[in-house]
Amino acid sequence: MWEGLHDLISDKRFNGTPLPGFQAATPYKIIDVKPLYGFLFREYIQEYEFWAHVDNDMIFGDVAGILNPLMDHYDVITPNGITSTWGPFTAYRNTPETTELFRLIDGDLYDALNNSKHLGIDEWAPFGRVYHLSMSSVIARYESTLRISPTLEHGWDGPVKKIPRHLDCVWKQKKDGRATLHILPSNNPVFCCHYQHSKREIADILSNTDQEAILGADLVMWSANTGLTVFNDPM
């Protein structure tokens, strides 16, 4: 699979030139490929207005309810109010201009992808500290000419050391499938929560929870602070 991804990048972006550094990298190097997804997999997204890259340590709520109104006004949407682009979730309008914003990275993209280290190109390059080789640098330079919304706080990233533990992301899903996400104590609605430092805690709690109770519950609630709770009476 990794070799196949290498071949795809090599063929579609670099005219078949191999990237031995990429081949030798760990799978975490995938974060540097995220901004190229719409370009690399164009044939799979032709019928869609937007495409996005998403991490796998996420919980989602009312995605359509929050994102649909924004799609009428913006070409790049990120739910994090701190960075211009966000690795866990950034959505791009499915047009050549927006999908291929990676071409505007101020540096040698081949050298960056051929580097066996992960550089954080998908957001602000915190690992290699090469901000110019990042999508955030592109957004910062072209924000005035593109319809880009980099400051929409509709996502939650934590808990981390910089975020007080009392901030809690609460996910609720009812038996009819409706799901909501809120940040407590403000009760602000968000459409995604990223459990970057607490995913191991989540795995431990879920592994000790009765799956039959979850499937049969009228409401399932997940709190970043208190864990999983199931309710048998509608709320």
Tens-place pLDDT, residues 177-201:
788 898 888 888 888 888 776 666 6
Whether residue 195 is found in the same domain as residue 81: no
Whether residue 168 is found in the same domain as residue 194: yes
Least confident piece of the model among 27-31, 111-115, 120-124, 150-154: 150-154
Q: What share of the chain is helix, strand, coil (3-state, %, to 5)?
A: 35, 20, 45
Beta-carbon contacts of residue 215 (< 8 Å; ≥ 6 apart): none
Span 116-148, pLDDT tens digits: 999 999 988 766 568 888 898 888 888 777 776
Distance of CA 196 to the CA centre of its chain: 11
Per-residue pLDDT at 186: 84
Whether residue 145 is found in the same domain as residue 163: no
Whether residue 137 is found in the same domain as residue 167: no
Whether residue 171 is found in the same domain as residue 207: yes
Total of domains in the chain? 2
Domain termination residue (choose one: 149, 181, 200): 149
Beta-carbon contacts of residue 74 (< 8 Å; ≥ 6 apart): 93, 147, 148, 149
Domain coverage including residue 191: 156-231
Whether residue 96 is found in the same domain as residue 33: yes
pLDDT at 157 over 80: no
Domain termination residue (choose one: 100, 129, 149): 149
Whether residue 133 is found in the same domain as residue 171: no
Whether residue 142 is found in the same domain as residue 160: no
Whether residue 8 is found in the same domain as residue 122: yes
Whether residue 118 is found in the same domain as residue 188: no
User: Helix or strand or coil: residue 229?
Assistant: strand
Report which of residues 36 and 231 the model is more confident about. 36
Domain termination residue (choose one: 149, 169, 190): 149
Per-residue pLDDT at 166: 57
Top-ranked range on mean pLDDT: pick from 13-27, 119-133, 206-220: 13-27
